[in-house]
Amino acid sequence: MLEGLDPEQREVATALHGPVCVLAGAGTGKTRAITHRIAYGVRAGILQPSSVLAVTFTNRAAGEMRGRLRQLGAQGVQARTFHSAALRQLQYFWPKAIGGSLPRIIDRKIQLVADAAAALGTRLDRNELRDVTAEIEWSKVTQTVPADYPYAAAKAGRETPRDPAEIAHLYAAYEDLKRDRAVIDFEDVLLLTVAILQDRHDIAEQVRAQYQHFVVDEYQDVSPLQQRLLDLWLGDRDNLCVVGDASQTIYSFTGATPDHLLDFRVRHPAATVVKLVRDYRSTPQVVHLANALLSQARGRAADHRLELVSQRPPGPEPAYTEYTDEPAEAEGAARRIRELIDAGVPAAEIAVLFRTNSQSETYEQALADAGVPYQLRGAERFFDRPEIRKARIALRGAARFGGNDSLLDDAVDLPSQVRAVLSGEGWTSEPPAGSGAVRERWESLAALVNLAHDLAAARPRATLADFVTELEERANAQHAPTVQGVTLASLHAAKGLEWDVVFLVGIAEGMLPITYARTDEQIEEERRLLYVGVTRARERLHLSWALSRSPGGRPNRRPSRFLDGLRPGTTPTVGRTGAGASGGVERGITASAATTPRRIQRTPARCRVCGRTLTDAGEMKLMRCADCPSDMDEGLYERLREWRAVQAERSGQPDFCVFTDRTLMAIAEACPDSSAELARIPGVLSRKLRSYGADVLAICAGQEPGQDDGSD
C-alpha cells in the first residue's frame, strides 16, 4: 500500500492518529496521499471503513476519491461533498428531530429572489438578480442574518450590487417567502443540519458514534458554516486530517477562507503538519514561473506559500505574446492550437483559460473558424444538459426494446449501436459548421460516442445495456466523459483540472487583476487566481494579452502587473524575499497535558431563561429564546431607539447600521454600567464601542448623551 509514495506522502499515509494537516502544493499528489492514507488504515485494521467520512467540495472530486478507494480495496468509506453528507443526515434525522418529511429543496434560488423583489416592488435586471442571489448565498455561509448584512458586507469589503440596506430587505423577504412556500435552499441544508446537531445532543452523539475519523480535502475553501458543521461532527475528538493550500484560495467571494487551514496548529497544537512540495504535474519551467509569481505576493497566505520542486524532465519555456486587439489574440491562440493538434497533441489535452465567462464567445468563434472542436466548462453540468438527458432516455429505450428498432438493424457492435441511436438525437459523423449552442450540443453527443468506443475497447462483449448502466453510474457520481475538444473555461472553473497545454489569455490590467479588485486582499486573490491557471499546465504554457478591446481601438491596455519581472525585459515589483516553505514534517507538541495548550472548545449558546440551545443569531444576541419572557426596561429601550434615530440621521445611514433592534433590546435587558459590560453584548463591536459607547452608557445611567456626571 505504501509502495510508490514519496517520503512526505508516506508520512501522510502512516499518520493515522490525532490531528494531521497536509499542506499540499499544486500537482504534489495530495489525492494519492490521502486515499492511500485511508486505504492503509483500513487494510491495516486501524480504521473501520464505515467509520470514515471523507469530504470535499465537488461531486467530481468526491467521485474520483470513491473510485480510487475502491481500487485500493477500501470499499465502504464514505466520500461525499459537505452538502451531500449533510443532506443524508438531515433526511435521516428530520422525522425524529422535527417531524414529518423534509421540505422540498429548490434547485435554483434566483427565481425565488425575483419573487421576493417583486413582492417588495423592487425591479432587478438580470445581472442584479444574479448578484443579489450571490450576496444572499454569501450571507448564509458566513452565518449572517438579514439585519446584520449591511455591517457584515462593509466589514468584508464587498462590492454590493445595490444599497446594503436594500439587499438586507430583499434577503429578509426571500427568507419569508421560503417559509411561506415550505421550501429550503442549498445553504439551508447545512444550516438545518447544524441546528439539529446543536439542539439535539442525542442525535449529535449518534452521528459521532457512526463517524470516528474525518478527512477534509481543499480545506482552504471551507466556509464558517462548513467549519461549524465539521466541529459538530467532531465533538471533543481530534481524529481529523485536513488537506489544502492557502495559495489556491480563490473563492473568498463565496465565503471561503484559508484561516481555518492557517490556524490549524493554533486550534490543534499536537497536530502533525506534512508539507508536500514535489510537483509531479508540471515541467521545471512551469513550476519556476509559478514559484516566481508567488514570490511577489503579500499577505497571510503568502507567508505560508510552498516552494514547489518539479519532478519532471525539462520542457519549453512559457511563451508571452502581445496582440493589437482581442479578436487578434483569439485568432492567434486558435492558430497555435490548430498547429498543435496537427502535430499530434490531442484536443482534449489543450485548454484556453480566461478571467470571466464573457471572454468565451470570441474564442468559441476563433476555434470554430479554425476547425478546432471545443467544449465549454463551468456552464451547465454535463448530465444536466437537455441533449444528454434526451440521449439517455433514447439509449435506455433502445437497450430495452432494441430488437424492434430498425435503426439498429445494421449496427454490429456497441459503438455503431450508440451512433445509430444518437443519430436520431442530432448527432452526425461530421461536426456542424460555426460555433454556439448547435456546436456545443454536437460536442456533448460526440462525448457519448467516444465513451462507447472506450467501453468497447475495455470490454469487447459490452452491450447497449452495459453502456446505459455505465452512464447511470457516471451520472450519479457526476463523472462526465471526456469531450474530444479544446476546453474553454474560466480560471475559477479550471481549479482541480490539468492539461498538457494551457493558453492563459486576457492577462491585462483591468482583467487580471479585475477592475473591481481594489483592496490588497482582493488583488492578492487575483494573483492566486493566475497562479492556479499557471499550475494547470503540464508541459506548455502560453500567456497573452491585447492592447485594445476591438480592432482600431486605442491601444491603452498594458500587461498585468503580475507579469512584471516574470516576462523577459521587465523588472519585478517589490514583493516578498526569500524562498517559500520546503517539504517535510513538523511534529506536534508532545509535552505533558499540564503544559500542552488545550484546544479551545466552543460551548453552545443557551437561553438564560429556559436553558435551551440557541441557534438563531438574533436569539444568541439576546441570550434568550424569542418566546421566553423578557426583563427589558421598556423606557430605556425607547430612549435608545430615539437616540439611534438621531445618530442615523447625522450619519446618513439606516437605523440598523447604528445598532439593530435586537442589539438595543439586549442593551436594555442588560443595562450595562461599564464599557466592559457593554462590550460583552453581541453586536457591540470595538468600532461601535468607540463611536457610541459613551452615549449608550450615559443613557443607561439615566443621563443625556454627552453629559458628564462629575465623577473622576
**Which residues carry a binding-site annotation for ATP?**
24-31
- Cell of residue 478, nine digits: 457526476
Residue by residue, DSSP assigns 356-388 as SGGGHHHHHHHHHHTT--EEE-SSS-GGGSHHH
H-type alpha helices, 142-200: 149-156, 164-181, 186-199
| Spacing of C-alpha 181 from chain mean position | 28
The answer to whether 522 and 249 have CB atoms below 8 angstroms apart is: no
The answer to whether 73 and 233 have CB atoms below 8 angstroms apart is: no
- Cell of residue 662, nine digits: 435586537
The answer to whether 264 and 21 have CB atoms below 8 angstroms apart is: yes
- Cell of residue 287, nine digits: 513550476
Distance CA 374, CA 357 (A): 15
Distance CA 316, CA 540 (A): 6
Complete edge-to-edge strand list for the sheet that includes strand 374-376: 319-325, 537-548, 499-504, 350-354, 486-490, 374-376
- Grid cell 458554516 is found at 225
- Grid cell 512551469 is found at 286
The answer to whether 614 and 607 have CB atoms below 8 angstroms apart is: yes
- Grid cell 508516506 is found at 10
| Interhelix angle 82-97/201-210, nearest 10 degrees | 140
Annotated binding site: 24-31
Angle made by CA atoms 528, 164, 149, in degrees to the nearest 5: 75
- Cell of residue 273, nine digits: 503538519
Among left, alpha and beta (phi > 0; psi -120 to 50; other), residue 425 is alpha
